[in-house]
Structure 1
């Protein structure tokens, strides 16, 4: 599965030779190119370049906070010294690639997995017909990595740092690590683990007992309660649940949060399985909704009454709700739109709150 990230890329060159090499990449990546001001007028390949914002160091610092990837055509040492004060966390640092001026080597320098630097390195090296230099242990040992698997799967881990460190170390050490997929995922979503990079993992069938010789188990499930496995286990939770939410005005945020958690528990769903929330746009400033989205760390999608009207015809209508917001039902048509028509379970209706769940295929 491709994990190339090209949302926002900045490329920096330090010499006219670097600008020439950059010209080979510009048609393949949506990126902004920067160089020293003195090279803007004196290089054949400077068209479309912008001058550094004061200095190379300052420009890289701005891009580090802004972009998903940074490419520098120059020496590794210069790049290392420049980004060293900027490093924050593997979960947030952008991908950083370094290319030598002759285009012989493309080096994945930072955020190889989560930032997508390794995959971007392979992509760029193919364009330049260069050598891809990737040093992460799982790649060198030709195994998958739990952090990249979670990203491919759009899934969450309860203890991300500990889980990825433990599992990846076991994999590169040649220890047996299993992966088990909850049958409910297969039945509900047609989930196929073989669509993802699982090199080095032993797939455990649903009807197969968990072998004691496994060093660890990756448990792929959206269920809030899991078995007491006989080996160390790490739950990988696909984010496939959406929720349409309607609520009365000025509802206390803690009330909505409590009811939402209860509704998930009633359906045996882990809170980390939630991918998005939605409601009607008249509720865009409702504190309870905003706080719920914040606590779940998911986007809040808002629909107009007109957008909800067509799908609302499928569900029971309330005259009071229609007079208040312009459409007779909110949570069910919202969940219908968010999930593409795949609703899950019964709608919660209590204390001026309605919550309907849906599932993403």
Structure 2
């Protein structure tokens, strides 16, 4: 999934005026600027085979693309590259005089709306944002999800439904579980109706719950569970353990600890397991990072946990899953360590967004 905070920004300019404007922007933002050979200036990169070919490469390599060009040209060059709002980068367009900055693609999840405001602020320009929730000065579910690094079941449909309800003046409640209630004020929730108690709801058409829980009290209205990705899992396993076994045990352990499987943020293990098929498949199928730790890194925290001499003789340290989870969660472990079928799994909760 793309991010609401573009970390790498490619800028394309096609005219001398565009190059001049790009040079102004370089002083305010970390930009990789591309232009034609004839307009090349220090700090700029020439187009490759062509402008279109360079854009095609950048589309999958950068979090955001900024064009100082006519909107029509940009639409034509990016049209064959479009996938969906979950994966497309932010795309922003501006005129070479720096009077208008347009959020063109991935306004919420990709962060184009925020980038548009930032660029417009740097130039004193007019930000042009057309997403319905922004136009109506309302929050958006996909923006909230991006800020929280959270996800939902049936993400596209849930976002479409809730955002449509908000702009249609329907009553959408927002409840924060205790783990997140203290930080609720940090997020844009305009248009949502604050809910304090799930047992005593105000009159609502739908309810969004920010929680890690796998189960919530049943409701008579539409309920959308927004699940922040905060759970990490340290995993140790015998060589060539079938991927299905590891996946099933991990899911079992999450549910035993009352966590929604969508809350899983990352898995981790010892460097010796960097090519373990079951762990690689798990990370690939869940689209989460697979963090690798050296023996020395794990050994720093080995004394905190019971050690296995068999494991030590096999991999060089007496415990794998527990110190790995400790490192990923800054020491915030939860529940007991699962030990079944040659697999060990330890869970932790990370505070990092």
Q: CA deviation at 1:192?
A: 2.5
After superposition, the CA RMSD in angstroms is: 1.6
1:243 counterpart (233, 236, 252): 233
The reply on whether 1:301 has 2:291 as its aligned counterpart is: yes
Name which of 337, 347, 350 aligns with 1:357.
347
Question: How far apart in 2 are the matches of 1:61 and 1:97?
Answer: 15
Task: Output the CA distance in 1 between the equivalents of 2:57 and 2:37.
Answer: 17
| Deviation by residue 1:185-237 (Cα, 9 ceiling, x = unmatched) | 35xxx6532221111111100365123x3111101111112221121111101
Q: Specify the SS of the correspondent of 1:313.
A: helix
In structure 1, how many angstroms separate the alpha carbons of the residues matched to 2:271 and 2:50? 45
Equivalent residue for 1:43?
none
SS at match of 1:102: coil
Instruction: Give structure 1 stretches of 5+ with no counterpart.
Output: 41-45
The counterpart of 2:44, out of the listed 49, 57, 63, is: 49
Corresponding position of 2:324: 334
Residue of structure 1 in register with 2:189 after alignment: 198
Change (3 A) 1:299 1:77: same
**Structure 1 residues 207, 65: CA separation in 2 closer, same or farther (over 3 Å shift)?**
closer
- The equivalences for 1:183-194 within 5 A come to 183=178, 185-186=179-180, 191-194=182-185
Say which of 71, 75, 84 aligns to 1:76: 71
Q: Give CA deviations for 1:214-262 in whole Å, capped at 9, x if unaligned.
A: 1111011111122211211111011111111111122122111121111
Shift of 1:4: 6.0
Q: Of 258, 261, 267, which aligns to 1:268?
A: 258
**Residue 165 (structure 1) aligned to one of 160, 163, 172:** 160
Q: Which residue number corresponds to residue 8 of structure 1?
A: 8
Matched-pair contact (CA < 8 Å) for 1:5–1:69: no
Partner of 1:257: 247
My pick for the range that moved more, 138-147 or 258-267, is 258-267
1:36 corresponds in structure 2 to: 36
Q: Hey, what does 2:122 align to over in structure 1?
A: 127
Structure 2 residue runs of 5 or longer lacking an equivalent are: none
- State TM-score, norm by structure 1: 0.93
Q: How many residues align?
A: 349
Describe the SS at the equivalent of 1:298: coil
Alignment partner of 1:142 out of 124, 133, 137 = 137
Please say which of residues 311-320 and 201-210 is displaced more in the overlay.
201-210
> Contact 2:4/2:143 (CA < 8 Å) preserved in 1?
no
